[in-house]
Each structure stands twice: as C-alpha cells, then as structure tokens.
Structure 1
C-alpha cells in the first residue's frame, strides 16, 4: 500500500524563505542580541547577531533572510535553513517548528 505524502502549503514555504533572520530567531524562541559596534563592509543593511544556544553562542551576520555563521563558516538563506543549522533539525521538523507558532 502506497503512503501518501503530505505537502506543506506553498505560501508557508515562501513566507519562511523570505523571512528576515531576526523574525526567524524570534519565531524559534531563541535569545539573540544585536552587536551595536559592528560596521558592515559590503551591504549597509547587514547586522551582526549573537545568538544563545544551549550554553554556547553563535555569531551570525544577517542581511534580510540571508545569514552566515562566522564560527562554523556556513551560511544559507531563509528561516528553514537557519532552524536546520542552529537546532540541527531536518527539513520537515524545521517547517513544523514554524507551523506551531
């Protein structure tokens, strides 16, 4: 017997794809702090954020929905990518984490 796959609504996936990093961090319930001393080099809208994670911290450079983890030297775009990276979630679990908010 074939198992039917449930698909996420395209509108939800698009919303998560363009969600700014700060909004994604808030939706995930993560504590973050803006670095007021950071001066962006290329894009003037880039900010540096320090995110607390389980006794440790992550330093992110964020421009809209795009992010770069300076310590892990990994980057991506969109809320789902960010949740997958920070919380070590698979795609389905990451999307469901935002759906429950």
Structure 2
C-alpha cells in the first residue's frame, strides 16, 4: 500500500502561518491581552486561548509561540495544533488544511 504524503507547499505554508491565523483556522476563541508589555521584542503579544473549558496563555510572535504555563514552545500552525489540541501530526495537518 502506497503512503500518501502532504504537499510540501501545504506544509511550508502551515509552518510559516501566524499563530493568530492558525487559532482562527482551528476555530478556537482567543483574545489578546491589552495590558501585556513585551520585554525583548516589541512584536510579541500575549494571547489567551480557550480550549476544552480551560485557558492557555501563549506568547506569540508571527509563527512562533510559547506556552507560559507548560513552558513549551514551537513554531508554525502544525506544532500549535498538536500542542493545543493534542493531535498527532497527520490529524493536525488535516484539520488545518480543511479550514
């Protein structure tokens, strides 16, 4: 049985996607924290994401994200979907590509 692969262009686009766009594609409610003042990079924002009755606090800058409570970060929509929704790679890509 031949294994199907995702198109390299799709994977590249998802890896470069901004976190806020990825959250929208995943249909997750998020809100930027207007009181947050970044220390190092002025483009960094703090967003609170509602997931499964709880809230995840993320520091975001373009495609990069960092979960302040779990002290774990990554880059791109695929890593984000895997972390936030606890999906495997294939499920994360399929969910992001479907939206």
Same fold by TM-score greater than 0.5: yes
Q: What are the ranges of 5 or more consecutive residues in structure 1 without an aligned counterpart?
A: none
- CA deviation vs aligned residue, 1:34-72 (integer Å, no higher than 9, x gap): 000000011110000000011100000000000000001
Unmatched 5+ residue regions in structure 2?
Answer: none
What is the aligned-residue RMSD (CA, Å)?
Answer: 0.5
Which has the greater radius of gyration? 1
**In structure 2, C-alpha distance between the alignment counterparts of 1:91 and 1:77, rounded to whole Å:** 14
Which runs of at least 4 in structure 1 moved beyond 3 Å after TM superposition?
Answer: none
Count of matched residue positions in the alignment of Structure 1 and Structure 2: 99
The aligned residue for residue 39 of structure 1 is: 37
TM-score, with structure 2 as normaliser:
0.99
Residue of structure 2 in register with 1:56 after alignment = 54
Q: TM-score, normalized by length of structure 1?
A: 0.97
